[in-house]
């Protein structure tokens, strides 16, 4: 009866990849002292009665290394976009020029860089916790199958596979964190 047990490792992999993609998005939102359109991805604007991503109310451009511009399509939303940026916690002071909002990216001081590396570390730890939770789900499925009559050899085989997948994802998170922290600390 347990011979046909098949752990859906593809599902575990997909869920772990989702945690990794989420981490990359969070990392992209961290300022490194250089302008990047992706740093505005988490900013949501109250437009037309719903929270809308900033890139759906205007065109986001990076005309130079220390400047991001947003060309807001609807004049009525300019003040709402400006307010959303001010309240986003990015530490950027928007400047208005008609329907264009300019975001000059200031140099990061040493203290702020260290602060940002800690934030990156927190994001990475949250991703690790997500990966471990997915691992636990897989292990619980294996334990349930063991209770239903799976052999100990099969149990060990599946547990090793789940652990290997987990270790691979955790090391990918550590690598991404190291890269992001060195990028933040680069002057």
Average pLDDT of the residues in 87-98: 82
Domain residues of the chain, as ranges?
9-27+109-185, 43-104
Q: Superfamily for 9-27+109-185?
A: Ribosome-recycling factor (1.10.132.20)
Q: What pLDDT, in 10s, does the model give residues 138-182?
A: 999 999 988 988 888 999 999 999 999 999 999 999 999 999 998
64: confidence class by pLDDT, cuts 50, 70, 90: confident
CATH pick for 43-104 out of 3.30.565.10, 3.40.228.10, 3.30.1360.40, 3.40.1010.10 = 3.30.1360.40
Whether the model clears a pTM of 0.85, i.e. scores above it, the answer is no
Instruction: Give the tokens for residue 112.
Output: 């702020």
Q: How far apart are CA 177 and CA 185, in angstroms?
A: 12
Average pLDDT of the residues in 68-81: 91
From the list 13, 17, 25, 14, the residue with the least C-alpha distance to 123 is 25
Tell which wins on pLDDT, 23 or 33. 23
pLDDT in the model for residue 133: 96
Average pLDDT of the residues in 103-108: 81
Residue 29 clears pLDDT 50, i.e. is over it: yes
Residue 2 clears pLDDT 50, i.e. is over it: no
Residue 112 clears pLDDT 70, i.e. is over it: yes
Rounded to 5 degrees, what are φ and ψ at 50? -145, 160
Q: Which long-range contacts (CB under 8 A, 24 or more apart) does 170-177 make?
A: 170/128, 170/131, 172/20, 173/20, 173/23, 173/124, 173/127, 173/128, 173/131, 174/124, 176/20, 176/23, 176/24, 176/27, 176/124, 177/120, 177/121, 177/124
1: confidence class by pLDDT, cuts 50, 70, 90: very low
Tell which wins on pLDDT, 3 or 138. 138
pLDDT in the model for residue 138: 93
43: confidence class by pLDDT, cuts 50, 70, 90: confident
Q: How far apart are CA 83 and CA 78, in angstroms?
A: 9
């Amino acid at each position: 009866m347990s011979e046909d047990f098949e752990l859906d490792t593809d599902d575990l992999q997909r869920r772990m990849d989702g945690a990794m993609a989420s981490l990359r998005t969070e990392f992209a939102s961290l300022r490194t002292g250089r302008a990047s359109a992706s740093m505005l991805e988490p900013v949501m604007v109250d437009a037309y009665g719903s929270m809308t991503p900033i890139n759906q109310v205007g065109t986001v451009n990076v005309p130079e290394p220390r400047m991001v511009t947003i060309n807001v399509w609807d004049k009525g939303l300019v003040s709402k976009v400006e307010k959303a940026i001010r309240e986003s916690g990015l530490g950027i002071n928007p400047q208005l020029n008609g329907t264009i909002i300019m975001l000059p990216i200031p140099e990061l001081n040493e203290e702020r860089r260290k602060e940002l590396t800690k934030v990156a570390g927190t994001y990475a730890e949250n991703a690790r916790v997500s990966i471990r939770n997915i691992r636990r789900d897989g292990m619980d499925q294996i334990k349930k199958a063991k209770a239903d009559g799976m052999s100990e050899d099969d149990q060990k085989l599946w547990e090793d596979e789940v652990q290997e997948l987990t270790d691979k994802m955790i090391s990918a998170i550590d690598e991404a964190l190291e890269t992001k922290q060195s990028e933040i600390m680069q002057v």
